[in-house]
Amino acid sequence: MASNSRRVGLIYDDRMCKHFDPDDQYHPENPNRIRSIWKKLESSGINQRCIVMNGKEAEDKDIALVHTKAHIDLIRNISSKKIGLKRNKIAAKFNSIYFNEGSSEAAYLSAGSVIQVAEKVAEGELDSAFAVVRPPGHHAEENEPMGFCLYNNVAIATRYLLDERPDLGIKKILIVDWDVHHGNGTQKMFWDDPRILFFSVHRHDFGSFYPGGEDGSHVMTGEGPGAGYNINVPWENGRCGDADYLAVWDHVLIPVAKEFGPDIILISAGFDAAIGDPLGGCRVSPYGYSVMLHKLLEFAGGKIVMALEGGYNLESIANSVQACIEVLLQQKPIAGSSEAYPFESTWRVIQAVRDKLSAFWQPLAERLTEKTTSMTTPYIQVVSSDSEDEYDTTPHTVSQELEKDIENIIQPFSDLKVNDGQACTISHTWRAELSKIDIWYATFGSNMYQSRFLCYIAGGQVEGMQKPCIGSLDKRKPKEIIWKTFPHRLFFARERTATWGPGGVAFLHPESNSDEKAYMCLYRITLEQFNDVLLQENVSNFDMNSPLFDMTDLQSIENSKCVSAEAVKNGWYHNVLYLGKENGLPILTMTCRLSDIDNFKSGNVLTCKPSKEYANNLIRGLVEGKQLSEEEATTYIQEAASRAL
């Protein structure tokens, strides 16, 4: 079909910009996300080649197809004046949610707009469509909002087509969720429904990446009549790019889609796996997205509805959306190329998915050939550090060099050589030794929240973090977790970090004070793991051929009380502090030096209140650890942040 005859719908409504975080102007899910997209589409003129529509509010009866009455009542009334000051308190009860006076209208417009274009595509009035909407939807569950999502827009539209408009002849729907986070809400809503094939490719990082847990695992395949109709492709690590996603398309999604034969495709189009996204840590290019979309055009007569989900780098999200709309108009990918190979872990995940689903889908029964899986790109580890001040250019020089290296790597592992294996032998020797030694790592900041701490072990990130952690080489979970209080002062300092953005981060005063009381979560981990955490807390990149804190340091610290990790002395947390023993094992933490306290007191280095997202991690840790109630934990953090040193 000629490109000028393609009827592509495009929805944008500025009223959805009325929804924003009243307490955090830097919140990643903000109105500029859709404004930047629309500005890009206008400047390129591509909007003039589409059928542009205003948003339309959803009706409660349609939302009730997937959400409970209590959920609907909450979202409908949350922006009313009578809620007023209670709004923030209500939001705090949910996972990564904010509300303001414009939230209700935006949520209804977002859901209604996706219904509107889905219906028009199903009717044949449009060939395809893109709904530039917010708030996003795929995390929202039947009875609660979460993860920036208020209503599950794609799920509502799916159920609407199947149950409210049977006259349209839509009997089977494929939902493709390529947002970097797992679509937990959508999965649960269609868990046992064979009419919907739900496919999600996302970072999982062994359950430590948001939304966390095992819902996003490849073993979650549906149940009852829906068994086999839920497909999760869970990345083990960040930095996955075009080659990784296209390998999944060719070896999982496309073969299954051919057998399923959908009547229409709905895409939960999150672009937080795009290059440069602060939350995703992956590297999909606009070209990559365009090829992924183009491969789906062969199904359902090209009837595709795309609904915006995540994506928090304004340039990447705008360029990626434009690339996708170009595909819908032209029916071919944008110009570009992708020469890199998938990671080795990508092939491992793909084979595990195929093995799990082979009983349901015959095309997946055959094992991938060694020739196919041997073409891999080396995985270069990049570490994110709370000590990495975004105003300090030195760490970023290292980071940018690594970015360039990764862009250029296309050779297999066999091309990489280490002189005589010496470096590998040295690293293996100290790791083998320290992996046998257990210590208690005492945490007082965001690491009190277990999911956040596990990012330092297994890799990944939790909501609010702007950069992922690479994790420890030893990804075993802590053997024990206990809580204790210590006579030390908790306070917050520094103005901004690369991990959390604007706002202070937690420090523990190195000197004890009987008048102070700091809550600390203690993780029993190996000394090898402690070294990997110490590294990630302090620097962006470092050659770990030798430990930062070795057996000599461990033996001396009981008398010296503190040891400076000199190799990372420019980091904010290089001072390892001894806090005593528990069950015969040393208790260690990491904080600033005593000399830094003078700089904080004098104002040479600023003390600063934590951001809302950072503080919420501390509060969540204290509450889930059953140390304080939410109100008590909030007060504890506020007092620590407001008291002068």
Here the tokens at position 381 are: 């580890």
- Which residue bears the tokens 């922006």? 79
- Tell me, what amino acid is at 626? K
The DSSP H or E segment spanning 173 is strand 173-177
Q: Give the three-class secondary structure for 32.
A: helix
Q: How many whole angstroms separate alpha carbon 12 and alpha carbon 133?
A: 7
The DSSP H or E segment spanning 118 is helix 103-123
Q: CA-CA distances (angstroms) from residue 369 to 248, 256, 351?
A: 15, 19, 10
Number of residues written out for the chain: 645
Q: How many whole angstroms separate alpha carbon 570 and alpha carbon 573?
A: 9
56: phi then psi, degrees, rounded to nearest 5:
-140, 130
Strand order in the sheet with 575-582: 481-486, 518-526, 438-443, 585-591, 575-582, 562-564
Cβ neighbours around 558 below 10 Å, total: 11
Contacts of 541 (CB under 8 A, 6+ apart): 382, 383, 395, 398, 399, 402
The DSSP H or E segment spanning 129 is strand 128-131
* Burial class of residue 176 (count of CB atoms within 10 Å of its CB; 0-12, 13-18, 19+): buried
Here the tokens at position 639 are: 């007092």
Contact predicate 112/58, CB 8 Å: yes
User: What are the helix (H) ranges across 254-340?
Assistant: 254-260, 286-296, 314-330
Cβ neighbours around 583 below 10 Å, total: 9
* Burial class of residue 302 (count of CB atoms within 10 Å of its CB; 0-12, 13-18, 19+): middle
Q: How many whole angstroms separate alpha carbon 524 and alpha carbon 530?
A: 10
- Which residue bears the tokens 């580890």? 381
- Write the DSSP string, 501-548: EESBEEEE-SS--TT--EEEEEEEEEHHHHHHHHHHHH-S----SS-S
How, if at all, do strands 196-203 and 173-177 pair?
Answer: parallel
Q: Is 71 a catalytic residue?
A: no
Q: CA-CA distances (angstroms) from residue 552 to 17, 256, 530, 548, 556?
A: 57, 57, 15, 11, 6
Q: Give the three-class secondary structure for 469.
A: strand
Q: Pick from 568, 575, 606, 610: which is nearest to 591 by CA?
A: 575
The one catalytic residue among 27, 67, 139, 509 = 139
Helix, strand and coil in the chain, % to nearest 5? 40, 15, 40
173: phi then psi, degrees, rounded to nearest 5:
-125, 130
Q: How many whole angstroms separate alpha carbon 311 and alpha carbon 492?
A: 29
- Which residue bears the tokens 């795009």? 274
Q: Pick from 587, 620, 554, 2: which is nearest to 329 by CA?
A: 2
Buried b (16+ CB within 10 A) or exposed e, 51-81: bebebbbbeeebbebbbeeebbebbeebbee
Catalytic machinery residues:
139
